[in-house]
Amino acid sequence: MVGAGTNKSKSPLTHSLSIILVRPQLAVNIGMCARAMANFGLSDLRLVAPKCGWPPSPEWHEAAISSAAGAAHILEGLKLYDTLDEAIADLNYVWASTARERGQAKPVLSPKVAMTQAASGFLQGERHGILFGPERTGLENDEVGVAHAILTFPVDPAYASLNLAQAVLLTAYEFFQASTGDLLPYAAPNRSPPAPYALTASFFEYVENALDEVGFFRPPQKKPIMARNLRNMFNRMSMSVQDVRTLRGAFVRLIEGRRKEP
C-alpha cells in the first residue's frame, strides 16, 4: 500500500465504506469514481493492480484529476495494492458488484438494501467494502468468490450496462441516504408561517359572500357543494399567512373595483 494521503472532507462517513476498484483500465474513470464518492461523503478509494498504472502517465494523471472535478484529494489519498487479498485485509464485510449472475451461492441484493445493511454494520463497528471490476469485463469469478454477498443494480434488462462511475455513484448515493436518512441540503423556504384555520375561513367567507352577491352560486341549492369545492381548491395550496393576505387583497380589488386615484 502506498500513497495514503490527506482527506479534506468533513463528512462523518468519510471512512465508513471502502470503494475498491479491481484492475481498472482507465485513469479518467478512476477520477470520475472519486467525484461520485465525494458527492456522497466517501473518501476511502482503493485500487488493485490498475491496468493504467498509478500514478498513470502525466497526461492521463492530468485527465484523471480533471475528471475528478474538485475531488482530487480522494485521488491523492487513494491506496494502491498489488493483490485483492491485501486490499480487503482489514475489512469485515465485502460486497461484489456484478451485472451478471455468477452461479455462486451468495445473497444477491439491490444497492438500496445492501447499503442499508452496510450503513447499519458501520454503526456497529464493521468495515464494509465494495468491489468493482474492470470496465470491460467486470470481476472474475474468483474475485466475486471472496465477497460475502453480491450487489447488483435494478436496471432495464434490455440495457443493463452501467459504467464504472455510475455504479459507484448509485452505491454511494444509497449508502449516504441510508446513513443520513435522505437529508436534503435545503428545504422549501418558509418565509411566512402556515395560515391558521380562522384566517383562511374568514377569507373563504369573504369570497363566498361576494360570489353570492353576484349570483355565482346557481342553482342556489348547489351553493354548499360549490363552496366546498372552492375551499378544497384553495386548501390544496397550503396557504401561508402571507398567501392569504395576498389573495384576499387581490379579491378585494377585483370585487371593489380599481382603487380611486387620489
Q: Which of 125, 185, 193, 257 binds a copy of itself (CB under 8 A)?
A: 185
Angstrom distance (rounded) from CA 212 to CA 214: 5
Residue 261 touches a copy of itself, criterion: CB under 8 A:
no
Per-residue cell: 226: 360549490
Nearer to a copy of itself, 102 or 127 (CB): 102
Q: Which residue among 100, 148, 222, 228 contacts a copy of itself (CB under 8 A)?
A: 100
Q: Which of 152, 171, 195, 244 binds a copy of itself (CB under 8 A)?
A: 152
Radius of gyration of the chain, Cα coordinates, nearest whole angstrom: 29
CA angle 191, 195, 201 (to 5 degrees): 155
Which of 112, 248 has the CB closer to a copy of itself? 112
Contact criterion met (CB below 8 Å) for 145 and 104: yes
Left (φ > 0), alpha (ψ -120 to 50) or beta: where does 19 sit?
beta
110 binds a copy of itself (CB under 8 A): yes
Q: Which is nearer to a copy of itself, 56 or 111 (CB)?
A: 111
Q: How far is the CB of 178 from a copy of itself (least distance, A)?
A: 11
Site string for a copy of itself, 205-234 (x = CB under 8 A): ------------------------------
Binding site for a copy of itself (CB under 8 A): 9-11, 13, 35-36, 38-41, 69-71, 99-101, 103-110, 112-113, 150, 152-163, 166, 169-170, 173, 176-177, 180, 182-189, 191, 240, 243
